[in-house]
Structure 1
């Protein structure tokens, strides 16, 4: 996994989750970033949002990933 995906994922997170994920092992960060990228690619609703505001789409996908991780 490219480092830039982890950096982009961390940037998309809210500050609380950014700090929590930033403290996890690198492998876990990469796994979460890969999940985030799949969420961005697979959700048509996010595609529409991405056209209007890429940062908003990335933040929504990050929120969904962290919500799923909490389950």
Structure 2
């Protein structure tokens, strides 16, 4: 059963990344979701974007995490 972080990360992903994400093992999904949460917490630029548009900040963090996984 997916954790809340995994569900939130999946919702923030661009459609073309969702299938690649859901095809990964649960442990990998949880690791990526944790990396996404860390990205959101640690990047000051995303903090500013989050104040303007939380969904945009979450989507940008998701793009960054998935971009590192290539």
TM-score by length of 1: 0.94
Query: Pairwise CA RMSD of aligned residues?
Result: 1.0
**CA–CA distance in 2 between the matches of 1:68 and 1:22?**
17
Q: Deviation at 1:29?
A: 0.2
Q: How many residues align?
A: 69
User: Unaligned regions of 5+ residues in structure 1, if any?
Assistant: none
Q: In the alignment, does 2:23 pair up with 1:23?
A: yes
Aligned match of 1:54: 54
Q: In the alignment, does 2:8 pair up with 1:8?
A: yes
Aligned match of 1:32: 32
Q: Deviation at 1:35?
A: 0.3
TM-score by length of 2: 0.95
Q: In the alignment, does 2:65 pair up with 1:65?
A: yes
Runs of 4+ in 1 over 2 A off after TM superposition: none
**CA–CA distance in 1 between the matches of 2:66 and 2:20?**
10
